Structure 1
Amino acid sequence: MDTEAQHTERDRSSDEEERSRSARMSGALTWRGTGLVGVACMVFLLLFSHFVLQPFLVPSGSMEPTLQVGDRILVNKLAYRFGDQPRRGDVVVFDGTGSFVQEEQGGNPVTGALHDAAAALGLAEPDETDFVKRVVGTGGDRVVCCDKDGRISVNGVPVQERYVMLGDQPSRVPFDIVVPPGTLWVMGDHRSQSSDSRDHLGQPGGGMVPVDKVVGRADWIGWPVGRWSTVAETDAFAAVPDWAADGHGGTGHAGTGPAGPGGGQGRG
């Protein structure tokens, strides 16, 4: 009996089993490592978007031509974190709860968390309470529409709003308001298709958005590729003084003027 041949065969079989076991363990470790890296990347992106730069999907044409339907804008969440305040002309994303929409009881928390995570990565539409608009008046400003030439004036200075959609009037709704301190008067660039501060005249809050509800400033268009660019700044308000020309600051007749629709429906 050839015991040496039997030993060799057993050794070869053992080696093959060991290699197979090692391959299985290596594969499991590889998949586990890949999964951990994926989870770590996802956590990093969620934290980054929560604190620094968050993508938002533009769902409507209310900010045309500046922003188009389907644009994914990158919102700088650090823009107003260190003492800076929103300025006239800034394009901002804000939570309209309590100003543009009524507060409602929350729905399913799990579904809400999944949606928030997808929205934070720009993979889903923003919450129904998230809006993107342009700041036209800040605390203390008197904003009036319209003068004899059909222009909006801020603190007595007519504003040439070249960013407004071609063919749109500055507003079909006349108003004369003073913006209370700590709030903003915001409007869409596509005035005939924007539901904005004008639509909430006469309601609690008078269409004013609290500054602490601002998520951040829209600084870049990140998608689609053909739209890669910064969100252009405007010098339309360069000649506007800091406070209302009548010297009353944030006091006065905020919310006066006839209420009425600002145009088409839709957030954004």
Structure 2
Amino acid sequence: MTSEDRDFSTVDQTPEGSRSAAFPAAAPGRRTGRAARRAARKERGESRKSLPVWQETLLLLVAAVGLAVLVKALFLQAFYIPSESMEPGLEIDDRILVEKPSYWFGGEPQRGDVVVFADPGGWLGPEEAGEPTNPVTAMLARIGLYPTGGHLVKRVIGVEGDVIECCDEQGRILVNGTPLEERDFARPNGHGCADGAQGACFGPMPGTGSWTAGPVPAGKLFVMGDNRAHSADSSFHLCTEAETECTSDPYVDVDSVVGKVMAVVWPAGKAGFEDRPDTFDDVARPRGGAGQ
């Protein structure tokens, strides 16, 4: 076969038909991709418009409020301490954070937890019932951006089935017969126990004498303030044998608990996390079932 017999008609040898001609290299300085599209829009007068500052500010504010409401409803809520009932640990005007997930999925308050709960009915004093009076702070409090009042904060002493007694010969509260060592976190009443116990008395309200509460009913808690002489708590609302017309309920509904105090966040000098005292780990199991 001669060279004349070969057919080159199917191969286009012209520059226009070559591969390099079909996909020409970008000319020097020519924009490609996104930059090219932006340049084209600019040439056509289609520049992207940004939102006015006031609209961006409004959107950010709405997003912040929505996030705050979600966090308050599900995870964390800020409160302030309105009274001296939890001294020495929590003092008036301390700001605290309360976490809620610990009591999700069947979790319930444990002995030693410091909890915030709704008023069971007539427990709040004038100083504890107060809410922010400034319209701005009141609105911020409702959406979770400012610490709120109107609740009580106490320490859980007894849970379902527990029997609480005041007091042993050393002035200690007993839970199911186990004495609590509370010197590291509670303040004794300062007047000694009315039943003649020796030393500091961690039984509340001087002059009340010995008392027993429980068994704690199902779904209920027995709570006390750490400042035993100045706390209108479960022991304060307990009906004693000497009272013939007492209708007070000393227990708190588990369902009324907002959450557990996680940390003090203000003042900065005492900021820190709240821990459950070790003494509650040694409490004996209830001797019987929950009372009614």
* 1:65 Cα deviation from its structure 2 partner: 1.3
**Which SS does the other structure have where 1:54 is aligned?**
strand
State the AA in 2 paired with 1:183: K
1:25-36 alignment to 2 at 5 Å? Answer: 29-36=52-59
| Structure 1 residues 244-267: Cα deviation after superposition (integer angstroms, max 9, x where no partner) | x3x3x2227xxxxxxxxxxxxxxx
Matched with 1:157 is 178
Matched with 2:224 is 187
* 1:222 Cα deviation from its structure 2 partner: 1.3
CA distance in 2, matches of 1:70, 1:63: 12
| Structure 1 residues 18-54: Cα deviation after superposition (integer angstroms, max 9, x where no partner) | xxxxxxx96x711111111112101211221121100
Matched with 1:176 is 212
* 1:159 Cα deviation from its structure 2 partner: 1.1
**Pick aligned residue for 1:208 from 225, 232, 251:** 251
What is the root-mean-square deviation in Å for CA atoms of aligned residues?
A: 2.6
CA distance in 2, matches of 1:122, 1:226: 22
* 1:97 Cα deviation from its structure 2 partner: 3.3
CA distance in 2, matches of 1:84, 1:45: 24
* 1:125 Cα deviation from its structure 2 partner: 4.0
* 1:73 Cα deviation from its structure 2 partner: 0.6
What are the ranges of 5 or more consecutive residues in structure 2 without an aligned counterpart? 1-48, 125-133, 191-200, 240-245
**Which SS does the other structure have where 1:176 is aligned?**
strand
Larger Rg: 2
CA distance in 2, matches of 1:208, 1:116: 32
* 1:204 Cα deviation from its structure 2 partner: 4.1
Question: Is the alpha carbon distance of 1:157 and 1:87 closer, same or farther for their aligned partners in structure 2, counting shifts above 3 Å?
Answer: same
Matched with 2:84 is 61
Matched with 1:108 is none
| C-alpha contact 1:54 1:120 (8 A) present in aligned 2 | no
Matched with 2:243 is none
| Structure 1 residues 102-158: Cα deviation after superposition (integer angstroms, max 9, x where no partner) | xxxxxxxxx99x84751553635412xx10000000010000001222111000111
* 1:212 Cα deviation from its structure 2 partner: 0.5
Structure 1 segments, 4+ long, off by >4 Å, are none
Matched with 1:3 is none
**Pick aligned residue for 2:109 from 60, 70, 86:** 86
CA distance in 2, matches of 1:240, 1:59: 31
| Structure 1 residues 188-207: Cα deviation after superposition (integer angstroms, max 9, x where no partner) | 00111111112212354631
**Pick aligned residue for 1:233 from 263, 276, 289:** 276
* 1:239 Cα deviation from its structure 2 partner: 1.6
Aligned residues: 214
State the AA in 2 paired with 1:182: G
With normalisation by structure 2, the TM-score equals 0.66
| C-alpha contact 2:78 2:147 (8 A) present in aligned 1 | no
| C-alpha contact 1:55 1:74 (8 A) present in aligned 2 | yes
Q: Does residue 217 of the first structure (1) align with residue 257 of the second (2)?
A: no
Alignment identity in percent? 39
Matched with 1:255 is none
Question: Is the alpha carbon distance of 1:215 and 1:155 closer, same or farther for their aligned partners in structure 2, counting shifts above 3 Å?
Answer: same
Q: Does residue 51 of the first structure (1) align with residue 74 of the second (2)?
A: yes
CA distance in 2, matches of 1:99, 1:209: 12
**Which SS does the other structure have where 1:237 is aligned?**
helix
Question: Is the alpha carbon distance of 1:228 and 1:189 closer, same or farther for their aligned partners in structure 2, counting shifts above 3 Å?
Answer: same
Higher RCO (CA 8 Å, separation ≥ 6 residues): 1
**Which SS does the other structure have where 1:79 is aligned?**
helix
Matched with 2:166 is 145
